[in-house]
Amino acid sequence: GLNGEDKQSGLAKHNQSLTYDLFAPEIIANPYPLYKRIREEDPVHYEASLGYWILTRYQDVEAALRDERLSANRRTLFIQQLGNLDVSLIQNFLQLADNSMIEKDPPDHSRMRKLANQGFTTRALESWRGIIQKTTDTLLDQVQHQGYMDIVSDLSVPLPSLIIAKIFGVPESDRANLIQWATDISSFWGVPSGNNIEELAQKADTSAAQFTAFINQLVAERRQKPGTDMISLLTMAYTEQNLDFAELPSLCILILNAGRSTTTHLIPNGVSALLNHPQQLQKLKDNPALISSAIEEIIRYDSSVSFVFRIAKEDIEIGGQKILAGSVIALGLGAANHDPAKFTLADNFDIERSPNEHLGFGPGIHFCLGAVLARMELNICFSTLLKRFPNLQFDSTRPALPRRNTFVLKGFDALHVRF
């Protein structure tokens, strides 16, 4: 809660005693009222309990995403979180992390992004549409007969991983391994805390070594015999530029993991938003052409990615606050997307909202590389779900499960529905 107010002075508003509890159960359940309060009381807020700045206004978040004085390289932050862990134990992991485009600033980022774009050409994307439809249908076939499902474990967890594995052209017999390695790596990449950190580290490092070896082998094969899969496209892009392939395993793990948990958690958020707004759901069923607009509204209204993080490279000023070099800044995408200065009736869910310039994919140089693919996946997933299961509803025979206990990657641990 709010523990102090010091608005009268009009001087430095940076007030260490003004603190909010982002982990309170009612905030985890619905953080938007808190974001509203922060935006009104202290829009550029230093949260002492977390040790970083929080931006909540659309205007500030958007400007920060385009600000060259902010760095995306969060390595020092990550190393700090490791505490006493001996980093020589995670060399394979660190090699993947250090070559990751999402951590780079220009000029490295610009060079890497140009190459990465070659894996997402319009032609390639169109050729993957069938994969997405088939994967969605296969998962729904498995639950069709029972009349109920968990949106998370039956659909949104397996869907994005399987799609990327197929798009990479990974043989069926290797897909489970690939997904397991990616999961081990991302569990450690999150915020490693707690006393099993050594165990997580060891698992992540072993998986990083296996993942790297596996991708290197695929790259070698595709170099000899290129196909239309994404690994072939990326390998060709690197070959044309005469670059060595050391960065490719990093790019592959980034594509795999950036596209996995984001989509996994967005799908149940969207299903929940639709089921909680029956009139909107009915409108969409009556007019399936609204699906693209509905997907944009789902991303604005309740995206999985609530915050992205940056580090100040020099002393800067945002909204009258002085932020020192080295400070960590949490850019509130979720807060910005509910800012009434940008969106009329910002807390309303309106599948026909127009314009809808949400920040869900993070504008600026790190704008989601997979946005077109994500939109295609979500489009097909929601359309198919509603077409095949027109009576979709919350499963009232099962207890409602709380939200995931984090404010960064917002989602559900499970979401039971009937159809």
Using CB under 6 A, list all residues that contact ligand HEM: 72, 101-102, 113, 164, 254-255, 258-259, 262-263, 266, 303-305, 308, 360-362, 366, 368-370, 373-374
Q: Report the distance separating Cα 367 and Cα 116, nearest Å.
A: 13
Over the range 250-286, which residues count as b (16 or more CB within 10 Å of their CB) and which as e? Answer: bbbbbbbbbbbbbbbbbbbbbbbbbbebeebbeebee
Q: How far is the CB of 198 from ligand HEM (least distance, A)?
A: 28
Minimum gap (Å) between residue 161 Cβ and ligand HEM: 11
What single string gives the DSSP state of each residue in 193-213?
-STTHHHHHHHHHHHHHHHHH
Q: Which is nearer to ligand HEM, 192 or 270 (CB)?
A: 270
Work out how close the CB of 167 gets to ligand HEM at its nearest, in angstroms, rounded to a whole number. 8
Closest CA relative to residue 200, chosen from 411, 208, 407, 178: 208
Q: Which is nearer to ligand HEM, 92 or 303 (CB)?
A: 303
- Output the CA torsion 187→191→194→200 (10° steps): 30
Q: How far is the CB of 259 from ligand HEM (least distance, A)?
A: 3
Please, which contacts does 277-285 make with residues 24 or more away whose CB atoms are closer than 8 Å? 277/349, 280/349, 280/350, 280/351, 283/351, 283/352, 284/351, 284/386, 285/386, 285/390
Smaller CB separation from ligand HEM, 363 or 418? 363
* DSSP 8-state code for residue 78: H
Give the chain's end-to-end CA distance (angstroms, integer): 40
| Nearest approach, Cβ of residue 342 and ligand HEM (Å) | 17
Rounded to a whole number of angstroms, the minimum distance from the CB of residue 377 to ligand HEM is 6
- Of the pair 90, 336, the CB lying nearest ligand HEM is at 336
Looking at the Cβ atoms of 102 and 323, the one nearer to ligand HEM is 102
CA distance 145 to 249: 40
Sign of CA dihedral 135, 115, 358, 187: positive
DSSP state of 292: H
Q: Residue 102 Cβ, how far from ligand HEM at the closest point, in Å?
A: 4
Beta bridge partners of 54: 45, 330
C-beta pairs of 282-285 under 8 Å, 24+ apart in sequence: 283/351, 283/352, 284/351, 284/386, 285/386, 285/390
* Minimum CB distance to ligand HEM smaller for 42 or for 62: 62
Q: Which is closer to ligand HEM, CB of 266 or CB of 294?
A: 266
**C-beta of 17: minimal distance to ligand HEM in Å?**
30
CA separation, residue 68 to residues 100, 211, 303, 319 (Å)? 18, 33, 25, 17
Taking the least distance from each CB to ligand HEM, the nearer of 226 and 362 is 362
* Tokens matching residue 176: 């489970």
The Cα-based distances of 120 to 128, 146, 177 in angstroms read: 10, 37, 24
- Cβ proximity to ligand HEM: between 303 and 321 the closer is 303
- C-alpha distances out from residue 194 to 33, 59, 197, 370, 401, Å: 29, 36, 6, 32, 24
Shortest Cβ 188–ligand HEM spacing (Å): 18
Q: Give the residue with the Cβ less far from ligand HEM, 43 or 411.
A: 411
Position of minimal CB gap to ligand HEM: 370
Which residues, 6 or more positions from 70, have their beta carbon under 8 angstroms from its beta carbon? 64, 310, 311, 312, 313, 316, 329
**Minimum CB distance to ligand HEM smaller for 167 or for 219:** 167
